[in-house]
Structure formats: structure tokens, C-alpha cells
């Protein structure tokens, strides 16, 4: 059952002197109930803009976000508030996303307060349950965020995101700032809670090995568009789009030697995107048509790919 359906979502930022940056172009994606969809790409690919515009933390410039069939893009703030109970987010930086003046009990319990749920005592009870759920000690309730390490702070952020029993969580680089030995603890926690509570997750990361580990399906983004999408293992073992192939080969892996294909150049400026396929300036398999015409994301025998090498 489809929980969330993103249709042709786009976001244009307006800069100085009429400059326009198309951060998100025509992105369509759906997430089933209880499904984890990974979104991966390099800086400027629009993955964070996607996560935030579907929650309307950033106002989309066009397109639809259907949550349980209802489009939330045109909703007024007041009508949006009850929807926010079901849609939560965890950010990358557990240092920047927790109010340093509030005690952890207040940080975790605030969503309940904002939505007027339960009595003060019931909220306290819920906070205690949440602390248990994310593996924090009960005495955390009266301590401040700065008394906790990065990994524990991310646990606090997860507890807060779970406070309202959401149906979907956007995890935006939720484990990227953590040390290797802590990262796996938090990945395990998110995976465990996702199964236990049957939550859908849009898992955004630049780290393909993390995405691979947690996601049922993945979408690869480049310069504001999805270039490939499919079942995680299919894409990882048999990447179709030349960009996906380059991205996979660029990841340094333990036990492998160098001398893979190294992609030349860098991600182009989104304010001045290349014509045709945005990847053509770096693509090892570039053809004339790629410079002229932008390929559409089309279903293929495996997943969907936006590339002229495949039937359009």
C-alpha cells in the first residue's frame, strides 16, 4: 500500500539578479507503508531539498505530495499541523538540532505538548517509554543535550521523532556525522525500530554502503533529478546508469585496490546546468544526443533509468 506519493516535485530557488537555481526537477517517487527508500547522491543533487520539501519545511515550487491520498502541498499551515504528527525528520547534526537550553525530557516531550497530547503525567510516561526504546537511561530526562555524546544525541533526536508515532520519517544524513563505531549502533537502532513500529523511512545519505544496508529500494540523484531507481540489490549489483556505475566504483572499500574508473570533473553548478542530460559533461559514454535532449526516467527491465543508452 502506497503511503506517500511524490509527483513531479520541483523546487526553484531565486537568487540575486533574477538568478534561478533549480534544486529539484520533476521528481516522482513513492514509498509504501513500512518501506525504506534510500536517496543517494553528491552535494547539490537535491536529496536534502527533496526530503525537506516533502515535509514542507521548504515550500515546493511545483508538483504534488500525496500522503495517504491527500495532497499536502496546497494545505494551509493549520491544516498541515495534524499531518505533521505522521511525518517526522531526523537531521544530520545532533549538535545543531537539539535545543541546548532544554532538558532531554522536554526535548523529547515537546512534540506531544505542541500537539496537545495527553496530560503532563501521560507525556512524562511516554518520554520514559521512548528513552527505553532508543536505549537511553531513564535519568537522561533531567540532563541537557550537551552532557551526551554524538551517538547518544542522535538517540535523543530519534526518540523525539518517534514521540508522535509517525508513519513516515525522513532521515537526512542521520548517521553521517557519527564515528564508525557509533554509526553501526545507530543504523541498528533505526533498522530495529523501523521493523518493530513498521515505519516508512526516506533515508537520505551520500554514503552508498549505509544506504545499501538499510534500504529496500534506492533512488540515485544527480543535479536535481532521479537518474536511476530500483530494488537496492539489483542496482548495487548491476548499476545501469553510467553515473551510478561511477559512483559505485568511486567508493573506497576495504580490501580492494585502487585504479578504478575515476570520474573526471565535478558536479556542475546547479544555477547553470548543462544542456541535455546533466551528466553528459562527465559521462564516459557520452553521445551526441546526450548534449541535446534530456533523457526521461523510464521503466526498464530492471528498475527505471534516465539515460539515452536505454530505450526512451
Partner 1 sequence: MTQSPLLTIDDLWIDVGSRPVIEGVSLSIKPGEMLGLVGESGCGKSVTALSIMRLLAEPPMHIRQGAIHYDGQDILAMSNLELEQLRGNQIAMIFQEPMTSLNPVFTIGDQIAEVVLLHKTSDRAKAARRAVELLDRVGIPAPEKAAQKFPHEMSGGQRQRAMIAIALACDPQLLIADEPTTALDVTVQAQILELIEDLRGEMGMAVLLITHDLGVVSQYCGRVAVMYGGRVVEEAPADELFTNPRHRYTEALLRTIPAANPPGVELPAIPGTVPPPGARPNGCAFHPRCSFCLDICTEEMPELTGDDHHRLRCWNAA
Chain residues binding partner 1 by CB under 8 A are 42-43, 149, 151-152, 179-182, 184-185, 187-188, 191-192, 206, 208-210, 212-214, 232-233, 246-247, 250-258, 260, 262-264, 266-267, 282
Whole-angstrom CA distances from 211 to 215, 233, 248, 258 are: 6, 11, 12, 23
Quick one: 111 or 303, whose CB is closer to partner 1? Answer: 303
Shortest distance (Å) from residue 271 CB to partner 1 = 13
Bridge partners of 4, per DSSP, are: 31, 67
Residue number, 64 or 249, with CB nearest to partner 1: 249
Residue with Cβ nearer partner 1 (57 or 236):
236
| Residue 179 Cβ vs partner 1, minimum distance, rounded to whole Å | 4
Toward partner 1, which CB reaches closer, 163 or 227? Answer: 227
CB of 23 to partner 1, least distance (A): 16
Please tell me the distance from the alpha carbon of residue 308 to that of residue 289, in angstroms, as a whole number.
8
Cα radius of gyration rounded to whole Å, the chain:
20
Three-state SS at 122: helix
CB of 246 to partner 1, least distance (A): 6
Task: State the nearest-atom distance from the C-beta of 160 to partner 1, in Å.
Answer: 20
Closest CB 266 distance from partner 1, rounded Å: 5
Q: Which is nearer to partner 1, 167 or 282 (CB)?
A: 282
* CB 216 to partner 1: min, Å: 9
27 alpha-carbon distance from chain centroid: 13
Cell of 52: 525537506
Closer to partner 1 by CB, 119 or 259: give it. 259
CB atoms within 10 A of CB 15: 10
- Minimum CB separation from partner 1 for residue 255, in Å? 6
* For partner 1, the closer CB: 81 or 192: 192
Give the residue with the Cβ less far from partner 1, 1 or 180.
180
Torsion of CA 21, 228, 40, 136, to 10 degrees: 130
Closest distance to partner 1 from the beta carbon of 302 (Å): 17
Distance between CA atoms of 272 and 19, rounded to whole angstroms? Answer: 9
221 - beta bridge partners?
A: 226
Residues 293 and 27: their CA atoms lie apart, in Å, by: 18
Q: Is 144 left (phi over 0), alpha (psi -120 to 50) or beta?
A: beta
Q: How far apart are CA 54 and CA 93, in angstroms?
A: 20
Backbone torsion region of residue 229, taken as left when φ is above 0, otherwise alpha when ψ lies between -120 and 50, otherwise beta: beta
Give the nearer residue to partner 1 in terms of CB position, either 101 or 257.
257
Contact of 104 with 144, CB cutoff 8 Å: yes
Q: Are residues 213 and 178 in contact, defined by beta-carbon separation less than 8 angstroms?
A: no
DSSP β-bridge partners for residue 231: 217
Amino acid at each position: 500500500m502506497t503511503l506517500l506519493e511524490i509527483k513531479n516535485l520541483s523546487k526553484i530557488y531565486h537568487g540575486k539578479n533574477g538568478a534561478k537555481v533549480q534544486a529539484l526537477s520533476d521528481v516522482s517517487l513513492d514509498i509504501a507503508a513500512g518501506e525504506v527508500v534510500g536517496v543517494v547522491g553528491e552535494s547539490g543533487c537535491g536529496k536534502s531539498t527533496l526530503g525537506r520539501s516533502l515535509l514542507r519545511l521548504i515550500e515546493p515550487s511545483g508538483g504534488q505530495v500525496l500522503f495517504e491520498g491527500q495532497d499536502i502541498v496546497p494545505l494551509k499551515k493549520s491544516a498541515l499541523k495534524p499531518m505533521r504528527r505522521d511525518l517526522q525528520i531526523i537531521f544530520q547534526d545532533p549538535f545543531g538540532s537539539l535545543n541546548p537550553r532544554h532538558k532531554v525530557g522536554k526535548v523529547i516531550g515537546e512534540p506531544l505538548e505542541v500537539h496537545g497530547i495527553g496530560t503532563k503525567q501521560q507525556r512524562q510516561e511516554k518520554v520514559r517509554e521512548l528513552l527505553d526504546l532508543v536505549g537511553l537511561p531513564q535519568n537522561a530526562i533531567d540532563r541537557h543535550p550537551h552532557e551526551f555524546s554524538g551517538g547518544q544525541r542522535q538517540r535523543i533526536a530519534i526518540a523525539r521523532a518517534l514521540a508522535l508515532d509517525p508513519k513516515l520519517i525522513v532521515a537526512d544524513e542521520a548517521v553521517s556525522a557519527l564515528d564508525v563505531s557509533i554509526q553501526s549502533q545507530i543504523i541498528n537502532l533505526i533498522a530495529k525500530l523501523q521493523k518493530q513500529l513498521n515505519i516508512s523511512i526516506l533515508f537520505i545519505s551520500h554514503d552508498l554502503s549505509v544506504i545499501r544496508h538499510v534500504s529496500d529500494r534506492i533512488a540515485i540523484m544527480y543535479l536535481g533529478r532521479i537518474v536511476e531507481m530500483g530494488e537496492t540489490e539489483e542496482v548495487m549489483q548491476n548499476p545501469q546508469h553510467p553515473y551510478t556505475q561511477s559512483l559505485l566504483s568511486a567508493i573506497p572499500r576495504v580490501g580492494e585496490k585502487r585504479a578504478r574508473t575515476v570520474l573526471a570533473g565535478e558536479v556542475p553548478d546547479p544555477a547553470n546546468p548543462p544542456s541535455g542530460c546533466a551528466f553528459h559533461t562527465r559521462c564516459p559514454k557520452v553521445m551526441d544526443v546526450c548534449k541535446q535532449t534530456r533523457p526521461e526516467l523510464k521503466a526498464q527491465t530492471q528498475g527505471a533509468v534516465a539515460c539515452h543508452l536505454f530505450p526512451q
